[in-house]
Structure 1
Amino acid sequence: MAYTRKDVSTLTAAEKRRFVKAMLEVKRRGEYDEFVRMHIEYYVGDGEGGLRTAHMTPSFLPWHRRFLLELERALRRVDPSVSMPYWDWTKDRTTSSVPWTKDLLGGNGRRSDRQVTTGPFAYKEGNWTITEGITDEEFLTRDLGRARDPIVLPTRSELEWAMKDPVYDVSPWDSTVTKGFRNKLEGWGTGRGSSAWRNHNRVHRWVGGVMLGGASVNDPVFWMHHAFVDLCWSRWQRRHRAHRYLPVKPPGPGSEQRGRIVARHEKLPPWDVTPDQLEDHGRIYRYA
């Protein structure tokens, strides 16, 4: 039977407690850091050689759908009542709104070193030491809204700009494409400032701290953010029923993208699953 992912702003006090407890237990067991290592490993950019599966590629959405499912399964092994809530950043847009509360993810980092000092994931609580990252910091950091160079979260109209594009993705299937739903949602843009980071990408930069780069999984908000990104894909699928994941077939000989992206029916590393198999989540979970 399918379970439900809820808007984080609708969680009851008891649901918040169970979610936090399950997250801390997955961290205590050492499983959480495996997710951080995996994301770092698969954070491969356009300028690097080899296969791209997680970012700057058509499989951005199915890869993170499966990644999120793996974490959710770990949480549900601890507490079967827990599912991953989603953070709608077009609605809850301030540094004091959900999920930045003391009973959930804690708030912004302090000015001196951006260390998060409130909530259950604060370093001082002793339950959330960062061991896998791209810096030597052991504590969770945030810079909500980017104090020195302020930016704002994406708006509903900016998200709608992506949602209304009926084509899933286009050649050359990377961070440079200006058409197609995938990159409009993933958010690799051109220029400087907010225009360079759209939707998904700008949210990472708005949160700041460890949410910048491959080790972004160290902030639990990563999962709530990607649950909303996944919900956006699900809504896009319902809106554009005649359109599906692209490309259908791998790029041909001579293409610079040959062997660098995953086509619809190809296996999506590190799992034995294809994007085609990940398009329908209805038997596993639904969104409230």
Structure 2
Amino acid sequence: MALGDGIRRNIATVDPVERTLLRDAILKMNAPRWDGTREDPVAGGVTWWFKQDEIHKVTHVHGGPEFLPWHREIVNRFEDQLRVIDPRVSLHYWDWTQDPRSIPNANLGNGHAGSLNLFTPQFMGYGGSDLKPIGQPFENAGFYAPQANPFRSDNAFDPNNNPADPPRTVNRQVNGLPIDAPRDQDVLDAPDYETMRRVLEQSHNEMHGFVNMGGTHISFRDPFVFLLHSNVDRLFALWQHQPGHPERLDPEHVYGPLNGNSELAGNIEPWSSGRTLNEVTGQENLIRPWYDPEKMGIPKSYKDLSVVIPRRYDTNPGVV
């Protein structure tokens, strides 16, 4: 396992040193800021970390064919920013057939294997059965600030929702059981994209309930969400790589009968123009730096090769 090889692996199998590097890179994402100030007509001064929450809150798509490619794009872009901070890291995944509180035969370093809990102050913070703040190491890094004023509200309709402001808390609780392995096999056995997407999204929904990160519109304030979504993308990638199905890596055929679907025909936002329609409020949102004044948006469709071709996972054929 060479640092910097760009392969996403089961987080429990990488060396503890690499887990620490990933944690530190995530923590450092809350320091650099995009241009502008919070008082600008379109808010600027948002940290690289809180930009993830801003994007997901107003743009994310669930319950439709764009669910998988849209989340692949946000996961890929997040990993790219992590690598700006530390080019040695990859966005590894949580295999949701394993209980993150007690993963057996995990890599504990120095040739030792044993039980691993991902929810410690040394990695992902709190992971108990009661809904509580995630705590360290994220509170000290400003992922939330209990005394913040102004602060970012949890309510999408609350006008006090400036993305440059921290929330007062980020809560988490872990209750229930992980996914049974046969459920993942159901994903891989799906005969077409839409069947696969529905099965995979259902597992995704259940695992968001197992590791409760506060709800649909605020879950991307919790760093664990990226380990979960890296696994979603891994299973999508593994389905694409099933033997005998080269069409699943072909932009013109990957979505099967849905290839001409109007929702998949459009560009991926906000990265194409910075203009999005908030599915909660029904109002248009403008997101920098893809909107004015930076205008960094570059139109990209759901058939773009960077969206259709997955990143490298340790479960991809030919990857070790």
Secondary structure at the counterpart of residue 88 of structure 2: coil
The answer (yes or no) to whether the contact 2:127–2:174 under 8 Å persists in 1 is yes
Aligned to 1:127: 142
1:275 correspondence with 2:302: yes
Could you tell me how far apart the structure 2 residues matched to 1:42 and 1:207 are? 22
Aligned to 1:250: 261
How far did 1:241 drift?
A: 3.5
Percent identity over the alignment is 23
Q: Deviations over 1:137-186 (max 9, x none)?
A: 622211101xxxxx3222111222232111101xxxxxxxxxx1101111
Map 1:116-265 to 2 at 5 A.
116-117=134-135, 119-121=136-138, 123=139, 125-129=140-144, 132-135=152-155, 138-145=168-175, 151-169=176-194, 180-187=195-202, 199-210=203-214, 212-239=215-242, 240-243=245-248, 244-246=254-256, 247-251=258-262, 261-263=263-265
Determine which structure has the larger strand proportion and give its number: 2
The answer (yes or no) to whether the contact 2:100–2:118 under 8 Å persists in 1 is no
Aligned to 1:76: 83
Structure number with the bigger relative contact order (C-alpha 8 A, sep ≥ 6) is: 1
In the alignment, which of 56, 61, 71 is matched to residue 39 of structure 1? 56
- Which amino acid in structure 2 is aligned with residue 4 of structure 1? I
Could you tell me how far apart the structure 2 residues matched to 1:109 and 1:133 are? 24
Aligned to 1:174: none
Aligned to 2:111: none
Could you tell me how far apart the structure 2 residues matched to 1:61 and 1:209 are? 20
Change (3 A) 1:269 1:209: closer
Determine which structure has the larger helix proportion and give its number: 1
Could you tell me how far apart the structure 2 residues matched to 1:84 and 1:126 are? 19
The answer (yes or no) to whether the contact 1:7–1:88 under 8 Å persists in 2 is yes
- Which amino acid in structure 2 is aligned with residue 134 of structure 1? D
State the aligned residue count.
Answer: 234
Aligned to 2:118: 99
The answer (yes or no) to whether the contact 1:25–1:78 under 8 Å persists in 2 is yes
Could you tell me how far apart the structure 2 residues matched to 1:72 and 1:2 are? 13
In the alignment, which of 1, 10, 13 is matched to residue 7 of structure 1? 10
Aligned to 1:60: 67
The answer (yes or no) to whether the contact 1:250–1:262 under 8 Å persists in 2 is yes
The answer (yes or no) to whether the contact 1:8–1:98 under 8 Å persists in 2 is no
Answer with 1 or 2: which has the greater Rg: 2
The answer (yes or no) to whether the contact 2:267–2:301 under 8 Å persists in 1 is yes
Change (3 A) 1:93 1:25: closer
Secondary structure at the counterpart of residue 21 of structure 1: helix
The answer (yes or no) to whether the contact 1:109–1:115 under 8 Å persists in 2 is no
TM-score, length-normalised on structure 2? 0.66
Secondary structure at the counterpart of residue 5 of structure 1: coil
- Which amino acid in structure 2 is aligned with residue 86 of structure 1? Y
Secondary structure at the counterpart of residue 134 of structure 1: coil
Gaps of 5+ in 2: 33-46, 104-115, 146-150, 161-166, 249-253, 273-298, 315-319
Change (3 A) 1:83 1:249: same
Cα RMSD for the two superposed structures: 2.4
Could you tell me how far apart the structure 2 residues matched to 1:279 and 1:205 are? 28
Secondary structure at the counterpart of residue 29 of structure 2: helix
1:88 correspondence with 2:95: yes
Q: Deviations over 1:184-218 (max 9, x none)?
A: 1111xxxxxxxxxxx100111111142x2111111
Q: Deviations over 1:69-109 (max 9, x none)?
A: 11111111111111111000102354684422332102325
How far did 1:133 drift?
A: 4.9
The answer (yes or no) to whether the contact 2:8–2:313 under 8 Å persists in 1 is yes
Aligned to 2:40: none
